[in-house]
Amino acid sequence: MAANSDSAKRAAAARALDEVRPGMRLGLGTGSTANIFVELLGERVRGGLAVRGVPTSEATRALAERVGIALATLDQLPELDLTVDGADEIGPDLALIKGGGGALLREKIVAAASAAMVVIADHTKVVSTLGRFPLPIEVVPFGLEATRRAIIAAATALGLTGDVRLRMENGHVFVTDGGHFILDAGFGAIPDPLALAQRLAGIPGVVEHGLFIGLATKAIVAGDGGVQVLTRAATTES
């Protein structure tokens, strides 16, 4: 039973440990849920489990080092067995919105280099249509306003409207690990994530966007009813 968000996150992260085999090359996600997984994995490593991890952010690198997980760069391990990461939203076909923690670029590169991606989350992240959570879009600082307008035009062409805001943190512009900015796009419901993803990918100045389509192979979702495993085919195991 997962009584609240934290215990649900922990239940999902703990279940994801079942996916880990000795010798695996692991992508390590970013965010509060991924952090719990990294901490639990660290306990297993200290108990003798041999794995190597590629972190998706500097924050995760620091945590993984602290808990004793052997780390490598993606250049050293360009093919990974499994990535375990959180998500801001989990939609139909396990399409995701990610980037709430600002690490979407490395997260997507690492997930794409992985044979499997398992998403861990509390049940509130599961939605019937993506878009309640503002879509993070990573952009280069040069030409910020031109890029922002191009994003709005691309969305408008799909019938989407809403504020596209520069992410701030503690009164300063938020800067990603890659030195880029994030625009948070509050479009509301995104009925065709693939169409939006394709349009965003074609905009100069957009480095990457937080729509993860066709990357997640499984989602482990925990709530008051226990832990559910969702697969791309939308089957459910208990």
Ligand X SMILES: O=C(CO)[C@H](O)[C@H](O)COP(=O)(O)O
Q: Is 171 annotated as a binding residue?
A: no
Q: Is there a contact between 23 and 50 (Cβ–Cβ < 8 Å)?
A: yes
Q: Is 6 annotated as a binding residue?
A: no
> Does the protein bind ligand X through residue 184 (CB under 6 A)?
no
Q: Interacting stretch for ligand X, rule CB under 6 A, among 67-75, 95-103, 146-154, 174-182?
A: 95-103
Q: Interacting stretch for ligand X, rule CB under 6 A, among 16-24, 98-106, 110-118, 223-231?
A: 98-106
Residues near ligand X (CB under 6 A), total? 18
Q: Which of residues 104-133 bind ligand X (CB under 6 A)?
A: 104, 107
> Does the protein bind ligand X through residue 134 (CB under 6 A)?
no
* Complex with ligand X: residue 182 or 204, whichever CB lies closer: 182
Instruction: Return the residue of 10, 15, 61, 98 that touches ligand X, per CB under 6 A.
Output: 98
Rounded least distance, CB 165 to ligand X, Å: 17
Q: Interacting stretch for ligand X, rule CB under 6 A, among 23-31, 61-69, 179-187, 201-209?
A: 23-31
Residues 6+ apart with CB under 8 A from 88: 96, 97, 98, 99, 100, 125, 133, 136, 210
> Does the protein bind ligand X through residue 99 (CB under 6 A)?
yes
Rounded least distance, CB 71 to ligand X, Å: 18
- How many CA atoms does the CB half-sphere of 85 hold within 13 Å? 40
Q: Is 87 annotated as a binding residue?
A: yes
Q: Is 31 annotated as a binding residue?
A: yes
Q: Is 128 annotated as a binding residue?
A: no
Here the tokens at position 62 are 């620091």
Instruction: Return the residue of 10, 27, 33, 227 that touches ligand X, per CB under 6 A.
Output: 33
Q: Is 208 a catalytic site residue? A: no
- Give, rounded to a whole angstrom, the gap between the first and last alpha carbons of the chain: 12
Rounded least distance, CB 48 to ligand X, Å: 28
Interaction site with ligand X (CB under 6 A) = 29-34, 85-88, 98-104, 107
Positions marked active-site: 107
